[in-house]
A = this chain, B = another copy of it.
Amino acid sequence: MYSPTIQKLIDLFSKFPTIGPRTAARFVFYLMHKPKEEIEELIISVSDLKKNIKICPLCLNPYEGEAELCSICSDSRRDRSLLCIVGNETDLTAIEKTKKYQGLYFILGGTVSRLKKADIEKLKIKELEKRIKSGQEIKEIILALNPTAEGEATTLYLERLLRPLNKKITRLGRGLPLGGELEYADEETLSSALESRR
């Protein structure tokens, strides 16, 4: 239906997270109507990603600059006894925005629905084990994965994996979110909200 150049770009945008072929087509026509300079700005920004961004060897968070570690891992004011394991970069950002957490992070690279070897291997398990072994100062590991079915399965897996290390392992508290209603809360969430009352 579309000409080859357009179809090719629709196919590439269709692989972007949450994007189907219809929105991908809208992206292509949006770009087609942009002036040449804006297209070049986008192209430069995309290629800068690969050029400028490094992955922090400690937490796997992307950063840029000459430093050997990202700005969080190299910040001497952060509490090195706390390690918070998150699913991906946007979860780390969400926690940073609260300004309530002063420890370090580790980005697991996702969550898995089944604990099959092929799935587990997509996660950064080896990097996590290496990180924890080298971090003798870690006292508490916070498993901050989403309380979805996938996140719960991954949390259970990590608990089993990390238990032999004899460090304190915690999870995020469950409770009612802003705007929630008791009547529609599941029993586990409401139980947690009662227990963590204050």
Q: Would A3 and B63 be within 8 Å (CB), given that A36-B50, A90-B183 are in contact?
A: yes
Copies in the complex: 4
What does the 1/0 interface line of A166-190 toward B look like (CB < 8 Å)? 0000111111111111111111111
Interface residue SS majority, chain A: helix
- Among the stretches A18-26, A73-81, A129-137, A157-165, the one at the interface with B is A18-26
A12 on the B face (CB < 8 A): yes
* Cα–Cα distance between A171 and B195 once the two chains are bound (Å): 10
Question: Which residues of A (1-48) have their CB < 8 Å from a CB of B?
Answer: 1-6, 8-9, 12, 16-18, 22-23, 25-32, 36, 39, 41-43, 45-48
Q: Which residues of B contact A178 (CB under 8 A)?
A: 147, 174, 186, 188-189
22 contacts between A and B (CB under 8 A): A2-B93, A3-B62, A9-B45, A22-B183, A25-B93, A26-B90, A29-B88, A32-B53, A32-B62, A39-B50, A43-B43, A94-B185, A144-B182, A146-B180, A146-B181, A147-B179, A147-B180, A148-B179, A172-B176, A175-B175, A177-B177, A178-B188
